Amino acid sequence: RYANIEVAYLLQRLEAYPGVVILASNLRKNVDDAFLRRLQVIIEFELPTEAERREIWRRVWPDEAPRDPSVDPDELARRFTVSGGHIRNIALGAAFAAAEEEAPISLRHVVESARGEFVRMGKLMMAADFALP
């Protein structure tokens, strides 16, 4: 009941507002159809393809960041179907973990960081994605 009241209030405010409004949601399927009909433009951002993820993984760390050869962008792009923002979070977590150990960023750091990111996302984790060689 309260959700309907909140949606009705938001719709009233949107219709009365004279400027541009930008809304974002990562749960479009949960957005009410009546609400969607009132929006003039809807832009969807799909997850990056494997090739796009590979390029993001290649660029996510600065060149001077020490990396172990086990950190392979091709392998990471194949293993983890996530957004660019999640790749950044995983890479940052891996870099912090490696820095704490005073070691190069390794596949272990990346996998452990990815495991944490998947938990935060509430995403199903497949054991094969997190297996280390």
For 90-119, how does the pLDDT look when each residue is reduced to its tens digit (9 = 90+)?
A: 999 999 999 999 999 999 999 999 999 999
- What's 96's domain CATH number? 1.10.8.60
Judge whether 86 and 121 are in contact, CB under 8 Å: yes
Give the containing element (helix H, strand E) for 94: helix 84-101
pLDDT of residue 31: 83
Asked if the structure places residue 122 within a domain, the reply is: yes
Count H helices and E strands in the chain, helices first: 6, 0
Domain assignment present for residue 117? The answer is yes
The pLDDT assigned to 120 comes to 93
> pTM of the predicted model, to two decimals?
0.76
Pair (8, 67) in one structural domain: no
Q: Dihedral sign, CA of 34, 35, 36, 38?
A: positive
Q: For the segment 22-67, what is each residue's pLDDT rounded down to a tens digit? A: 988 877 888 888 788 888 899 988 999 999 999 999 999 999 999 9
| CB burial of residue 56 (10 Å; 0-12, 13-18, 19+) | buried
Residues 21 and 63 in one domain: no
> Do 31 and 64 share a domain, yes or no?
no
Over residues 79-98, mean pLDDT: 97
Structural domain total, the chain: 2
Question: In DSSP terms, which residues pair with 105 in a beta bridge?
Answer: 67
The reported pLDDT for the residue numbered 58 is 97
**Shared domain check, 125 and 85:** yes
55 and 90 in a single domain? The answer is yes
- Which residue segment(s) compose the domain that 9 sits in? 2-37
